[in-house]
């Protein structure tokens, strides 16, 4: 008898717990629903989990008062599987291809913005240190699209994690395909294929670019800083000299001809730039409302990605497109002031080279 009572008690508790879970999951589903297109699988998984729990609830309330209901099995079976997709995330700190082991608080000592950045992220993880590492990695390296999709602050931690996990899985799959489908080629002159497999194309996230600018600032400008120095200052694991060099080259190119012709629809809110130590920066810490498509600007986990950095490029052109997509269009190249420009002329090397050629 006592046994029966305690069993009943257990089931009531269990049922209560299930109800809570269902509610929580439904809440999650509502949130994910916003991203239905981006995360169909995620939505499906949550839906499945909800259904599984609902079945379990109905199972415990009806016939199967004693013993394991079939739905209980589903819980450990289907539902367990579903949940397994989410739960392990918390234990996997190394799922980003290139984990930045070095990018931690210690490294950011000289990077004044980064400390601020960690506040922007509003992360309340228990194991903050561990998570911030991989979150930073995601933030730095991930495709901006995917990251921007996560830019809603009303997402709970679990939801975000689920999304990150799904993104990661998609990326992994894509990468696998890439490796299989694009073996070493010998086609095309110039860069591609001459030597083995072409490197995975990497996008410079806002955060990455911010670090780049920071390093540039510290080194005294794009025409003084060398790729190696920049890379060392950026302290981003996995970042190569070549990548920095390329980025620097791009930056210099745009600095060389800051005013491109794209007149017409300019807001009256003209953006003013100042060159400080050879770096183009917005004159003021403008709050020029660069309205993000999703509406309210958030400072969630991927908060820093939201800040429009396009203004930090020498020109307003599409240079920063990978970083902030097309938000840069709202910038203007009018009202640019140049205070100093160390060594803006093209290098003498080119001249000697040209001289040799001619």
- The residues binding DNA (CB under 7 A) are 182, 185, 187-195, 197-204, 223, 226-229, 241-243, 245-250, 252, 254, 317-322, 346-347, 349-350, 352-353, 356
- The nearest distance, CB 201 to DNA, in angstroms, is 4
Nearer of residues 88 and 192 to DNA, judged by Cβ: 192
Burial (CB count within 10 angstroms: exposed 0-12, middle 13-18, buried 19+), residue 174? exposed
CB of 344 to DNA, least distance (A): 10
Contacts of 61 (CB under 8 A, 6+ apart): 15
Closest CA to 314 of 266, 271, 263: 271
Tokens of 17: 């717990």
Q: In sequence order, what DSSP letters do the residues of 65-88 get, joined into one string?
A: -SS--HHHHHIIIIIHHHHHHHGG
The nearer residue to DNA, 208 or 292, going by C-beta atoms, is 208
**Comparison of 31 and 254: residue with beta carbon closer to DNA:** 254
φ, ψ of residue 7 in degrees (nearest 5): -65, -45
Q: How far is the CB of 251 from DNA (least distance, A)?
A: 9
State which residue, 67 or 191, has the beta carbon closest to DNA. Answer: 191
CA atoms within 13 A on the CB side of 356: 5
Name the minimum Å distance from CB 268 to DNA. 24
CB of 239 to DNA, least distance (A): 9
End-to-end CA gap in the chain: 103
CB of 148 to DNA, least distance (A): 15
Closest CA to 322 of 220, 159, 181, 202: 202
CB nearer to DNA: give 105 or 175: 175
- Which are the contacts of 257, defined by CB distance < 8 A and separation ≥ 6? 315
Tokens 């007149």, located at residue:
263
Q: How many CB atoms lie within 10 A of CB 313?
A: 25
User: What contacts 178, CB < 8 A, 6 or more positions away?
Assistant: 200
β-pair partners for 337:
274
Comparing CB distances to DNA, the nearer of 6 and 350 is: 350
CB of 196 to DNA, least distance (A): 7
54 vs 198 by CB, closer to DNA: 198
């Amino acid at each position: 008898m006592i046994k029966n009572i305690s069993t009943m008690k257990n089931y009531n508790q269990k049922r209560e717990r299930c109800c809570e879970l269902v509610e929580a999951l439904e809440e999650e589903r509502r949130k994910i629903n916003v991203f239905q297109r981006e995360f169909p699988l995620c939505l499906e998984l949550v839906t499945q989990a909800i259904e599984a729990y609902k079945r379990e609830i109905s199972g415990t309330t009806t016939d199967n008062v004693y013993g394991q209901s079939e739905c209980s099995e589903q819980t450990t079976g289907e539902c367990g599987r579903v949940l397994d997709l989410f739960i392990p995330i918390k234990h996997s700190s190394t799922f980003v291809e290139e984990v930045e082991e070095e990018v931690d608080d210690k490294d950011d000592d000289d990077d004044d913005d980064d400390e601020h950045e960690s506040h922007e992220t509003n992360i309340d993880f228990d194991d903050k240190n561990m998570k911030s590492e991989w979150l930073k990695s995601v933030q730095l390296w991930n495709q901006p699209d995917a990251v921007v999709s996560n830019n809603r602050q009303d997402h709970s931690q679990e939801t975000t994690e689920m999304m990150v996990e799904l993104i990661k899985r998609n990326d992994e799959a894509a990468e696998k395909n890439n490796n299989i489908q694009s073996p070493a080629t010998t086609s095309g002159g110039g860069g591609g294929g001459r030597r083995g497999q072409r490197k995975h194309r990497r996008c410079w996230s806002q955060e990455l670019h911010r670090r780049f600018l920071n390093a540039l600032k510290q080194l005294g400008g794009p025409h003084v800083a060398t790729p190696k120095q920049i890379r060392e200052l950026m302290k981003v694991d996995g970042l190569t000299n070549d990548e920095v060099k390329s980025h620097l080259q791009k930056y210099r190119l745009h600095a060389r001809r800051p005013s491109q012709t794209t007149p017409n629809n300019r807001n009256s809110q003209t953006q003013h730039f100042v060159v400080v130590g050879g770096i183009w920066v917005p004159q003021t810490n403008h709050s020029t409302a660069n309205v993000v498509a999703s509406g309210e600007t958030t400072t969630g986990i991927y908060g820093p990605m939201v800040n429009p950095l396009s203004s930090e490029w020498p020109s307003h052109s599409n240079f920063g497109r990978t970083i902030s997509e097309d938000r840069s269009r709202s910038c203007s190249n009018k009202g640019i002031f140049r205070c100093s420009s160390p060594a803006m002329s093209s290098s003498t090397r080119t001249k000697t080279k040209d001289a040799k050629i001619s």
